[in-house]
Amino acid sequence: MRFHVVTLFPEVIDAYTKASILGRAQKEGILSVKTYQLRDFVQNKWGKADERPYGGGPGMVLQAEPIVMN
């Protein structure tokens, strides 16, 4: 079983998938998890992949551009 995860925090995903049952499944070749840094797909020079929500408020929202590719 293969999983591809695109995230802003690949090191967090790697830490979880290398521990406990998921880690054992990877060692036995049952499971494969590959993480990708979302910022690698951004077109701007700052590597910014998120933006403030429209209308204000707390938190951040991912931009569509790095996720939806032409």
Domain that holds residue 51: 2-62
pLDDT at 70 over 80: no
Across the range 17-35, mean pLDDT stands at: 93
pLDDT at 26 over 70: yes
Q: Name the band, by pLDDT with cuts 50, 70 and 90, for residue 48.
A: confident
Structure tokens at 44: 């701007």
Task: Determine, yes or no, domain membership for 42.
Answer: yes
d(CA 47, CA 11): 17
Nearest CA among 46, 38, 47 for reference residue 10: 38
Q: Write down the pLDDT at residue 41.
A: 87
Task: Determine, yes or no, domain membership for 14.
Answer: yes
Across the range 8-35, mean pLDDT stands at: 93
Task: Determine, yes or no, domain membership for 67.
Answer: no
User: Quick count: other Cβ atoms within 10 Å of Cβ 3?
Assistant: 12
Task: Determine, yes or no, domain membership for 69.
Answer: no
CATH number of the domain bearing residue 51: 3.40.1280.10
d(CA 47, CA 54): 20
Nearest CA among 19, 65, 18 for reference residue 38: 65
Q: What is the count of structural domains for the chain? A: 1
